[in-house]
Amino acid sequence: MSALLDSLRQICGTAHVLTHDDPRTDLSAWETDWRRRDFGNALAVVRPANTAEVAAVVKACANTFTAIVPQGGNTGLVAGSVPDASGQQIVLSLQRMNSVRAIDPDNLTMTVDAGCILQNLQDAAEKAGYLFPLSMAAQGSCTIGGNLGTNAGGTQVVRYGNTRELCLGLEVVTPRGEIWHGLTGLRKDNTGYDLRHLMIGSEGTLGVITAATLKLYPLPAAQLTAWAAVPSLEAAVQLLGLAHQHLGAGLTGFEVMGQFALSLADKYFPNLRVPLYKATPWCVLLENSDHESEAHARSQFERLLEVAMNAGCVSDAVVAESIAQAQGLWQIRESITSAQAQEGLNIKHDISIPISQIPAFVQATDALLLQEIPNVRLVNFGHLGDGNLHYNVQAPQGGHDQVFVRDMEDRVNQLVFDSVARFKGSISAEHGIGSQKVDKLPRYKDPVAIGMMRAIKSALDPQNIMNPGRVLAP
């Protein structure tokens, strides 16, 4: 292996090949996954400066059959970007590749290195007068390469789609160390198979994304937020339909939160002053982005809420009067994860269900779990606008959270995922498979699809050096 390390040092410079040989070097930031469940041991952390260096690193690894784990901000939630414990895998960190290569206003695109932090891209777009709409809790540290590798979702998917819908072109280093120059800014290009979409969401198992051309949008003139109490999940789904009809593409956010989830937010963050939740089982956060004016956005919202109240699907509602109030409402939504962590360890799910089936799914799955675990507590919230629920399971009041998770996680996962399958949903809506769900996939994914995935993996990475064991089990 020292020959490989010598090659890598020649390619990237000694300072950018970090190993455990120097006892002063702490590699844990690259070796430990975000949820602190996986602790790997890397042969080296390699930090190339540009695409040519990435290609040379991959070639050197291919020559020595060395496995490569591509890594961006290492904020993934399914342990897909950390090395295994063998000490034989290298982490290929894209963090030094963080330039915005170009912004093309008339084409509404920007071309960026994979290691750019998401929030920096939002800022660069805004500075140029445009919106890059990908948005999620980890945006201060996740990278666009990681967003693309995992096809990240977030809070504006109802309007702008997942990361894949925001990408027009890619530059990728293949498992052979070749460079695919696919950085097109075209909205129409029917010249062969769509390799871009194959790479996006493949979690680094088919190549290394080194750059991307992304879509920009005009900045909205105003963004307003409303909070509605709804009597049932059925009513929330009905409200979503009315919101599509009355706000059109202005509807950029539609989040649902259950009463218990909001009670935890209220308990641990009392200064957030959670509105309306005590009298209703569900609340909905709506966002309306308007290209005309704040006054127009407000009148649109008021019209929608009036129609919804008359239809009986909203019992009470507030529209934020200021940007600070709007941010406060979003903070409540985003505080739920932290609040439930303070309440204790819990069993998390990132699932999607056809929107029309969500009320029936929640009713059926709640009943199953309560039958299995009397008094179990369900922290249910998520992006209802795109059918994505974070359906989390918390120990009964007074139960020991660590014991609960240790003893019940497998059983609860199976109950929830089997129910997801019955309702034709997905066991991973936006987080991906990584290594965390790799053993579960064969039970829930069509076997013909898995067969095609394996054939493609073998064809493009016959040595199985790109992030092996992720997405597809060995």
With contacts defined by CB under 8 A, how many residues of the chain interact with its own copies?
Answer: 94
Residue 13 as a binder of its own copies (CB under 8 A): the answer is: no
CA proximity to 346, closest of 398, 409, 389, 390? 409
Using the rule CB under 8 A, which residue among 47, 246, 298, 349 binds its own copies? Answer: 246
The values of phi and psi at residue 163, to 5°, are: -55, -40
- Binding part of the chain for its own copies, among 40-48, 244-252, 264-272, 404-412 by CB under 8 A, reads 244-252
Stretch of residues binding its own copies (CB under 8 A), selected from 21-29, 132-140, 331-339, 346-354: 346-354
Minimum gap (Å) between residue 75 Cβ and its own copies: 15
Residue partners of 76: CB distance under 8 A and separation at least 6:
33, 34, 146, 150, 431, 432, 434
Q: Which of 37, 86, 126, 218 binds its own copies (CB under 8 A)?
A: 218
Q: Of these, 352, 392, 394, 467, which contacts its own copies (CB under 8 A)?
A: 352
3-state secondary structure 289-354: EECCCHHHHHHHHHHHHHHHHHCCCCCEEEECCCHHHHHHHHHHHHHHHHHHHHHCCEECCEEECC
Alpha-helix runs per DSSP H in 351-399: 358-372
Residues 356-385 that bind its own copies (CB under 8 A): 356-357, 383
- Which residues, numbered 377-436, are part of the site for its own copies (CB under 8 A)? 383, 386-388, 424-433
- Whose Cβ is closer to its own copies: residue 191's or residue 322's? 191
**Smallest gap from residue 388 Cβ to its own copies (A):** 5
Alpha carbons 461 and 21: distance in angstroms, whole number: 30
> Residues 167 to 196: which contact its own copies by CB under 8 A?
174, 178-182, 184-195
Let me know: does 211 contact 101? Beta carbons within 8 Å. yes
* Beta pairing class for 377-383 and 388-394: antiparallel
Q: Does 109 bind its own copies (CB under 8 A)?
A: yes
Task: Please identify which residue in 64, 327, 402, 458 interacts with its own copies, judged by CB under 8 A.
Answer: 458
Tokens of 441: 């996939």
Residue of the chain from 197, 330, 334, 366 that contacts its own copies (CB under 8 A) = 197
Footprint of its own copies on residues 281-300 (CB under 8 A)? 290-292, 300
Q: How far apart are CA 115 and CA 144, in angstroms?
A: 6
The answer to whether 429 and 348 are in contact (CB under 8 A) is no
Is residue 347 a contact residue for its own copies (CB under 8 A)? no
